[in-house]
A and B are shown apart, each in its own frame.
Chain A
Amino acid sequence: MKRTPVTMPVLSDTMETGHLVRWLKKPGDPVKKGDVLAEVESDKAIMDVEAFQDGYLSGPLAPEDSDVPVREVIAYISDEKPGPDSQSADETPAMEKTPAQDSDSQADDQSVDKSRDQSTNKTNVDAPQRTQESESESESGSEPESDSEQESEKVSVSANADAQAQTQKQTQSTDSISQAKASPYARGLAMELGVPLNQVAPSADGVIHANNVLSAALQGPAPNLDAGPAWKLHAFTPMRRSVAEHMQQAGKTPTFHVSARLSLELLAKQSKQQKHSFTLLLAQAAAQTIKEMPLFNAAYTPLGLAYRNQIDIGIAMDIPGGLVTPVLRDVAGRSLDELEQSWRALKQKAKQQRLLKEDYQGGTFYISNLGMFPLVDNFDAIVPLGSAAILAIAALQDGKASVTLSADHRVVYGADCARFLEKLNDKILGFN
């Protein structure tokens, strides 16, 4: 019986591990070249693992909801249907290294070759730009880390003393969180600043560097959970980690809020009549407003304000497992039909967690709409880096909704926001 390894695919230039979301085939299932075997979440999106040949999926399979380094074997495709013996091997995950990986680690030694041959474009991996809304928002939707006994074991660590009795499996996953490698300098710094290294999130290379320690120190102390009840740690999914980090960065923006109650009833009616998305109409109105007030399309940089020549609006979306902000391009310059088409495509991709970098990066203005939650009568949002403001829309009550503009005070000021809301109101009413 010939067994060909299936490996964790390399899905981006920066990907080092992939999160195996789930298997779509079982061991013993016949597979054809091109069949999707599993779903993998990279730091960017969820992608398919395809079969590259015909045969039968055979184990051992890497466990679902686990992080696997790229190029490691996650399963095999055999040319015969595997017998019951190999089935039993499915219990243990395969973690063998493939030859390709060995040769790669050799290439690592030859850092010259690598750095010369590889594209220079080791990008600052922009994770999806996501806006954070209220707590309830990010908690909504079905979480992949539901509390089934089996799942929590894999990623949990218990603070109480009995924890030592836990299985080795747990210890391993604990190690991956608390025993990240740290540079010598980071270690010294951590000791000096009194930051426990096991509470410092490492960089993308998996190593704790000095700046990780510094930002941990600036964040203030981590909560002392041991004082409370026993707890279990759920490791971040890539999406959650990304949101957390972006919010952390955005938290440094000096923000203020201006609220108004706008009559949106007509807009809602129009949406129904014309079968256009309400959010889309709102975005268009905002874009028309921004066109007249280009300051709202600018971004703060240390050197000055960056005015952009196109209005790209990021729209927060609630999806299972988190939140994404697909960006609608050139909202002021395109027809409603064109926008509608783009928006549908983006929504579709977002629901399938198939958004690409170009789909979610680089918004110049943001909208967050919680109108579908009738009890929410007012909220404000956090201004994402790279934009001047974000518009938060609460539920419609008596034909009016509370609209809050959160803005970066380095770019726009209070009166600007007041004028913006007035103009926006005009635009919305102008649709009539």
Chain B
Amino acid sequence: MSKEIFYWQALNQALDAEMSKDDTVFILGEDVGLYGGSYRVTEGLHAKYGDWRVRDTPISEGSFTGLGVGAAMVEMRPIVEIMTINFSLLALDAITNMATKVPFMSSGQFPMPLVIRMPGGVAKQLAAQHSQRLEQTLMNIPGVRIAVPATPQDAWWQTRQAIRSNEAIIILEHELLYFSKGILDKTAPAPPMHRAMIRREGRNLTIISYSRMSLLAEQAATQLADEGIDAEVIDLRSLNPIDWDRCVASVEKTHRLLIVEEDSLFAGAGAEIAATLGERCFYSLDAPISRHAGLDLPTPYNGKLEAASIPTVTSIKQAARALTQTENAK
């Protein structure tokens, strides 16, 4: 039974499904309860599950994220919603110093079934403080798993998998995806949570991307096909761990790699992807790995500048052409 729904609805239904099955699951965050969540993700859950399981918190990211750590240590399954990734900087101590450190430093004495959800990315003119990506900051914390669902189907699968896992998991949502639509088939079997998906098969180059950018990459690839450029598009779905084997297999097939990320170029997620695939695929590469990323610039408020600061379908196509046409140009 599959139907088209909004991304936020898929998240909402995933939360509801897990909460109804397991009463150790609880949600906390700013405006998640009575208000229903600033992006409607927790709509209706407070009415159904009450104060204790859908907890409105004060604006105290550092402490309520740490609360999640403490609760997970005693076998609760907290889902912390941080309103946007930008505020997670205030919670980095809990994420970095506590969530994976407690199980590790205790030599494995404590479970950590903690889920931290937060949206990020460049939305519509929210200015520099509210438009950050920060994937790279979170990727550098050993042991923190990061899922980046791009579609309602993945949002449904990965949220439920994250809640059931006993490890600390961050789900990076994207503000511009909440109101995007897609097919949700609740009966379809879920692939492993961190497996990359090949969204489009192709022969001329591999485009590796994630989250909203993977949708743009897919659109770009469809248009590139009309020009005779046959791009394979991989949606990573996860930034830690990364499904390297699928990436390697694709690059070994196409011999060219374009990485598309909304994150800033310098030391961004793409840098890690380029470095690892550079090591693993060196002898298969027919051109230098190319990264197409956001500018190393705080996001400007001005709408035109904002749009020009991150990859677009058009710019992805240009980057793909530049990468594939080195050999044709003569």
Task: Please tell me whether chains A and B touch each other in their complex, using a CB distance cut-off of 8 A.
Answer: yes
The reply on A251 being an interface residue by CB < 8 A is no
Within the complex, the shortest CB–CB distance from B323 to chain A, in Å, comes to 9
Question: Pick the contact of A112 from B282, B284, B292, B317 — CB < 8 Å?
Answer: B292
* Pairwise interchain contact B327-A211, C-beta atoms closer than 8 A: yes
The reply on B325 being an interface residue by CB < 8 A is yes
Q: Which residues of B contact A118 (CB under 8 A)?
A: 318
Number of A-B contacts (CB under 8 A): 85
The reply on B295 being an interface residue by CB < 8 A is yes
The reply on B291 being an interface residue by CB < 8 A is yes
What are the 10 closest A-B residue pairs judged by CB atoms, nearest first? A204-B329, A204-B330, A185-B286, A209-B327, A115-B318, A205-B326, A203-B327, A183-B286, A210-B286, A116-B315
Q: Smallest CB-CB separation from A14: which chain B residue?
A: B329
Within the complex, the shortest CB–CB distance from A70 to chain B, in Å, comes to 15
Query: A14–B282 Cα gap in the complex (Å)?
Result: 27
Q: Which residues of A contact B293 (CB under 8 A)?
A: 112
Q: List 9 A-B contacts (CB under 8 A).
A: A112-B295, A115-B322, A120-B317, A122-B329, A183-B285, A184-B284, A184-B286, A188-B284, A203-B326
The reply on B212 being an interface residue by CB < 8 A is no
Query: A127–B330 Cα gap in the complex (Å)?
Result: 7
Q: Contact mask A116-136 → B, CB, 8 Å, 1/0?
A: 101010111101000000000
* Pairwise interchain contact A203-B291, C-beta atoms closer than 8 A: no
The reply on B152 being an interface residue by CB < 8 A is no
Query: A118–B330 Cα gap in the complex (Å)?
Result: 18
Q: Smallest CB-CB separation from B328: which chain A residue?
A: A124
Within the complex, the shortest CB–CB distance from A240 to chain B, in Å, comes to 13
Q: Which residues of A contact B321 (CB under 8 A)?
A: 120, 122
Q: Contact mask B240-277 → A, CB, 8 Å, 1/0?
A: 00000000000000010000000001000000000000
Q: Smallest CB-CB separation from B296: which chain A residue?
A: A110
* Pairwise interchain contact A120-B287, C-beta atoms closer than 8 A: no
Known pairs A184-B282, A209-B287, A210-B255; A115 contacts B319 (CB<8 A): yes
* Pairwise interchain contact A183-B287, C-beta atoms closer than 8 A: yes
What is B's interface to A at a CB cutoff of 8 Å? 255, 265, 282-287, 290-295, 308, 311, 314-315, 317-319, 321-322, 325-330
Q: Smallest CB-CB separation from A127: which chain B residue?
A: B330
Known pairs A14-B329, A112-B292; A186 contacts B317 (CB<8 A): no
Query: A70–B115 Cα gap in the complex (Å)?
Result: 55
Within the complex, the shortest CB–CB distance from A361 to chain B, in Å, comes to 14
Within the complex, the shortest CB–CB distance from B290 to chain A, in Å, comes to 6
Question: Pick the contact of A209 from B283, B286, B291 — CB < 8 Å?
Answer: B286
* Pairwise interchain contact A203-B286, C-beta atoms closer than 8 A: no
* Pairwise interchain contact B265-A207, C-beta atoms closer than 8 A: no
What is A's interface to B at a CB cutoff of 8 Å? 14, 43, 110-113, 115-116, 118, 120, 122-125, 127, 183-188, 203-205, 207, 209-212, 245
* Pairwise interchain contact B318-A185, C-beta atoms closer than 8 A: no
* Pairwise interchain contact A207-B308, C-beta atoms closer than 8 A: no
Q: Smallest CB-CB separation from A211: which chain B residue?
A: B327
Known pairs A112-B293, A203-B330, A207-B326; A120 contacts B285 (CB<8 A): no
Question: Pick the contact of B291 from A111, A113, A125 — CB < 8 Å?
Answer: A111
Q: Which residues of A contact B326 (CB under 8 A)?
A: 203-205, 207, 209
Q: Smallest CB-CB separation from B288: which chain A residue?
A: A183
* Pairwise interchain contact A245-B330, C-beta atoms closer than 8 A: yes
Query: A186–B315 Cα gap in the complex (Å)?
Result: 27
* Pairwise interchain contact B330-A125, C-beta atoms closer than 8 A: yes
Query: A209–B255 Cα gap in the complex (Å)?
Result: 10
* Pairwise interchain contact A185-B290, C-beta atoms closer than 8 A: no
Q: Which residues of B contact A110 (CB under 8 A)?
A: 265, 295
Query: A203–B286 Cα gap in the complex (Å)?
Result: 12
* Pairwise interchain contact B285-A184, C-beta atoms closer than 8 A: yes
Within the complex, the shortest CB–CB distance from B213 to chain A, in Å, comes to 13
Within the complex, the shortest CB–CB distance from B179 to chain A, in Å, comes to 27
Q: Which residues of B contact A111 (CB under 8 A)?
A: 290-292, 319, 322
Within the complex, the shortest CB–CB distance from B288 to chain A, in Å, comes to 8
* Pairwise interchain contact A112-B329, C-beta atoms closer than 8 A: no
Q: Which residues of A contact B314 (CB under 8 A)?
A: 120
Q: Which residues of A contact B308 (CB under 8 A)?
A: 116
Within the complex, the shortest CB–CB distance from B225 to chain A, in Å, comes to 14
Query: A112–B308 Cα gap in the complex (Å)?
Result: 10
Within the complex, the shortest CB–CB distance from A89 to chain B, in Å, comes to 36
Q: Which residues of A contact B329 (CB under 8 A)?
A: 14, 122-125, 203-205
Query: A123–B330 Cα gap in the complex (Å)?
Result: 9
